[in-house]
Structures are given as structure tokens and as C-alpha cells.
Amino acid sequence: MSMEHCEYLPKCMFFNDVMQDMPKKSEELKAYYCKQHFTECARYIVLQALGRENVPAMLFPMQTDEAKRLIIEEEHWSDKYRKSDSAGTESTE
């Protein structure tokens, strides 16, 4: 459990765009995820694994199962692409 704040909070699309119309719920989620347990945040997990551009706008901080699914899916696709790319490279030489 970390007591640091999430470094991505100021630019988090979820809190600055998606949750802007729900300030009370937004503050509750920020208090738990962003200000105390950010390493448990699904958005943070995806950002760390796949990069900011791969964090779905509507991914809620508590959707860690979805975060894991996205990461596994991306890794599977990347492995498949690398295998087909290397196979294609070998066959053209």
C-alpha cells in the first residue's frame, strides 16, 4: 500500500472528462485510488503495461479484471504479430 499520489492524476482523462459531472463520486474514487492505492487502479495498470494511448476512456479504476484482460489480449496480439512478421521476413529472403 502506497501513500504517494498518482503522478498521472492531473492529466487523467477519466477524472478530467468522464467523471466531471459526478464530483462527489469522483472525489471518493480519487481519495482511494489516486491518493492512496494508485497501483491498484485499473487505469494505472493499463497505462504502465501498454502506454497512455491504450487506456480506454471508460475504464473505471476498479475494473482490474478488465485491465488484466486488455493486457493479456495486447500481449497475445503482439506475440502473434511478431511471429507472423518474423515468418514473413524469413520467407521473403
- Distance from first CA to last CA of the chain, Å, rounded? 52
CA dist 90 and 27 (Å) reads: 54
CA dist 22 and 41 (Å) reads: 18
Give the structural domain span for 52.
Answer: 9-92
pLDDT tens string 62-84: 999 999 999 999 988 877 666 66
* Domain assignment of residue 1, yes or no: no
92 pLDDT exceeds 50? no
pLDDT tens string 24-64: 999 999 999 999 999 999 999 999 999 999 999 999 999 99
Report the domain count for the chain: 1
* Domain assignment of residue 2, yes or no: no
H helices of 1-93, in order, are 13, 23-29, 42-50, 64-92
- Measured CA distances, 48 to 31, 41, 43, 93 (Å): 20, 11, 9, 37
Instruction: Return the pLDDT at 69.
Output: 97
* Domain assignment of residue 3, yes or no: no
pTM of the shown model: 0.78
**Positive or negative CA dihedral for 81, 40, 52, 59?**
positive
